Structure formats: C-alpha cells, structure tokens
Amino acid sequence: MSNNNWTAKWEARFCLVKEIAGRHDDNGATLTPKQHKAVSKPSKRKLMRHILWMMDELWIFVDKGQEEKAGRWLGFIHGVLVAHKLVSINELADRSRRIEQLWS
C-alpha cells in the first residue's frame, strides 16, 4: 500500500475517534499523561480529553511509519470507548469496514 493511502486511512480512523470522543468533551482541551495520572478515577470528560490527546500523539507514529504502534494505540482507544459504552463494537466494526472499502 502506498504511503498516501496508508496516511489517508489513518486520517479517516482519526476523524472517527475524534468525533466519538468529542461528543463527551465540552471544551476540546486535551490532557497530557501527567495530568491524566493525577486523577485517580477520571471523569468521562477528562478521559475523553486524554483520548483526544492520544489521537493527536498517534500521528507521530503514523508520520514515522510505525503502523504497529499506531495500531496498538488505536486498539487501546477503541477499547476505552467500548468499555465506557460510548460506542458499540458493532458500530466500530461497521465504520472500520467502510473505511477499508474506501481505500481498497
């Protein structure tokens, strides 16, 4: 797969997670890992801010061609969204299939 297609697929995934996380964060601010650790049990808002931060950081891996690491981070993020019942596994699977179809 060409680098342009690979980057475009990650951009589509990024937009999906930003949309889901953005539904639960009023101001769009992000939390760094240090700020996140300071909260023993974060509120949904703080958790979503941290997820949005992770998505921004994920681009560093994408830019470096570290697809496996980016995939692990994205999998973790998906797990958090599902565990907190912000999205269902079926919704993520359906949307991911649509992304794959666009780039195949």
Q: What is the pLDDT of residues 19-32, one digit of tens each?
A: 666 555 445 555 56
Query: Which has the closest alpha carbon to 77: 42, 43, 45, 52?
Result: 52
Query: For 53-98, how does the pLDDT look when each residue is reduced to its tens digit (9 = 90+)?
Result: 898 888 899 889 898 898 899 899 888 888 888 889 898 888 888 8
Query: Which has the closest alpha carbon to 1: 58, 60, 56, 67?
Result: 67
State residue 62's pLDDT score: 86
Question: Whole-model pTM?
Answer: 0.59
